[in-house]
Structure 1
Amino acid sequence: MSQIIKENVKQEVFDLYDDYAHNRLDRRGFLEKLSLYAVGGLTVPALMSFLMPDYKGNVQITADDPRLKSGYINYDSPKGGKTIKALLSKPIDAKKKLGGIIVVHENRGLNPYIEDVARRAALAGFVSLAPDALTPLGGYPGNDDEGRTLQSKRDQKEMQEDFIAAYEYLKKHPDCNGKVGVVGFCYGGGIANMMAVRVPDLAAAVPFYGSQPAAEDVPKIKAPLMLHYASLDTRITEGWPAYEAGLKANGKKYQAFIYEGANHGFHNDTTPRYDKTAAELAWKRTIDFFSQTLA
């Protein structure tokens, strides 16, 4: 059924969902505009069900995978007296210290998709740490709508400091070889770019469709970058030419890929914006990149 709906859904519907998912459109406005596309047997509830993430049916690496040691830890937040919950994962049979990867969630907290990605990174031969920036507000609440609301209430600068603190924690972890990179998705892609600017010793950064740093901050970047963009994600991708010009002008090491016909969020396999071909290629490139930079 979902495939039938996907074949009949116009790009404008995905664009509407993008506005809703990034708080540019409230739920009432989203439903009103979505109703314009509820034609030809497609109802608004059917479209809503189609667009919402399906976490139960799309887990690649389960929490109890016997190949991994994976569990929650808490690390100190720079905000005095507070800690941040995070998922720490590594291969169960690791015989040496491993490169570290910070996995940064979207604008809705540490949901099952990001936890799954963190486990995938660990299974690829790294020690991964996926923080939940919503910890001070009780953590990811179990659904993305409430998660977005909670995340919008957190101070943006404090959240940035919490992710930088995650880097410091992982770099010093006894299972880590001291080389730490970051991969982030959507909001997390912007955090990956921010960390490239602010963390001089960051070993690598991989933003997936993330907002770009200010032009004046580009010279501060030391880490090599791998950037993934979607051709249909004009909101984010339109900022790439200026960013690339800055990277070139300052002699920065980077690779960039724009995936034709893909939408923002194409790596997220729990939503209909998922593009299997683009997601698998982007992830392979990401793991190969980390294998080179974190060894």
Structure 2
Amino acid sequence: MTTTTIPTDAGAMPAHLFTPPNAWGPRPGLVLVQEIFGVSDYIRARAADLAALGHVVCVPEFYWRLDPPPIDETSEDFLQVAMGLAGQVDWEAAVADGVAALQHLESLDATSGKPGVAGFCWGGGLAFNIAAVADPSVLISWYGSALPSLLDLAPQVTAPSLHHFGTEDAFIDSATVDRISRAVAGPHTQFELYEGAGHAFDNPHPMFHHPAASAAAWQHTVDFLARELPID
């Protein structure tokens, strides 16, 4: 992993770049959008996992304008702290930052073609919005929490997409998940449900983690990327 910056209209946004081990030549890129907990160890680990598949992964610090201290996930109020931070983010500015990250990643010698965008929870919704206003190669959204309020953008998301949702999501009920499924449906959309899994089921924190759903969603992601954003 290397630390870098991405030029935006408001200044230089910090970001982290994960490159495939032993890569020869340019590789497809992915912008990975954080959860509400920021660029945590978990997000870095998933970025490394995606890089291990052969992709160049850029992880922007979307809280950069707020400049908060790292969220302590061992504290009793870590969820409230994270939700408070996410609520302070200027959404339109964050979308613009995501578009800037896609453009920056595409400009690198290490990447080939148009990069894709992926995100978890808060980042899953932001990734969806970014895909609606930019032109990524793919979209992967894990339980995008903002999706219910963004469905009017669905016709603008033309990239092949993969959506993950748990059937026991306490933040996005089954009726809403069904509404999302119908709105995003199309020939290039893959929509996966995971029985018994709650919100943020891929996050390893004991409050959220559902091992079977996490493993199944990861395998769907690996297969989707192999099909839609293959390594040359």
Q: Same fold (TM over 0.5)?
A: yes
Partners of 1:140 and 1:168 in 2: CA distance? 28
Q: Does residue 241 in structure 1 map to residue 178 in structure 2?
A: yes
Q: Which residue of the partner structure matches residue 35 of structure 2?
A: 106
Structure 2 counterpart of 1:114, which letter?
A: I
**Counterpart of 2:51 in 1: which secondary structure?**
helix
Q: Deviations over 1:46-66 (max 9, x none)?
A: xxxxxxxxxxxxxxxxxxxxx
Q: Please point out which of 109, 122, 147 is paired with 1:174.
A: 109
Distance 1:247 1:263, change over 3 A: closer
Q: CA deviation at 1:113?
A: 1.0
The yes-or-no answer on 1:136 pairing with 2:65 is: yes
Structure 2 CA distance for aligned equivalents of residues 123 and 140 of structure 1 = 29
Q: What residue ranges of structure 2 are gaps of 5+ in the alignment?
A: none
Share of identical aligned residues, percent?
27
1:157 aligned residue = 92
**8 Å contact kept, 2:58–2:105:** yes
Residue correspondences, number: 221
Query: Partners in 1 of 2:207 and 2:92 — Cα distance?
Result: 32
Q: How many angstroms apart in 1 are the aligned matches of 2:18 and 2:69?
A: 18
* 1:122 Cα deviation from its structure 2 partner: 0.6
Contact between 1:141 and 1:147, CA under 8 Å: does it hold in 2? no
Task: Pick closer, same or farther for the CA change 1:163–1:137 going to 2, 3 Å.
Answer: same
* C-alpha distance 234-253 of structure 1, shift in aligned 2 (>3 A): farther
The alignment's C-alpha RMSD in Å is 1.9
Q: Describe how 1:59-74 pairs up with structure 2 within 5 A.
A: 70-74=1-5
Long gaps (5+) in structure 1: 1-69
Taking the aligned partners of 1:73 and 1:194, their CA distance within structure 2 comes to 24
2:142 counterpart letter in structure 1: F
TM-score by structure 1 length? 0.70
Which of the residues 20, 41, 51 maps onto 1:122? 51
**Which residue does 2:162 correspond to in 1?**
226
What does the per-residue CA deviation read over 1:112-164, in whole Å, with 9 as the maximum and x for residues that have no partner?
A: 11111111111111100111111222255242535543343231211121112
What amino acid maps onto 2:131 in structure 1? A
Larger Rg: 1
Deviations 1:67-96 (A, max 9, x none): xxx1111111232xx111111011231012
Aligned counterpart in structure 1 of residue 142 of structure 2, from 202, 208, 216: 208
* Higher RCO structure (Cα 8 Å, ≥6 apart): 2
CA contact (8 A) 1:109 1:140 kept: no
Deviations along 1:212-257, whole A, 9 cap, x unmatched? 2534322111101110001110432432322332334xx4521111
Q: Cα gap change, 1:198/1:105 in structure 2, threshold over 3 Å: closer, same or farther?
A: same
2:200 to 250, 262, 265: 265
- Higher normalized helix content (fraction of residues): 1
- Contact kept in structure 2, 1:140 and 1:147, CA below 8 Å: no
TM-score by length of 2: 0.87
Secondary structure, counterpart of 1:272 in structure 2: coil
Q: Post-superposition shift, 1:193?
A: 1.3
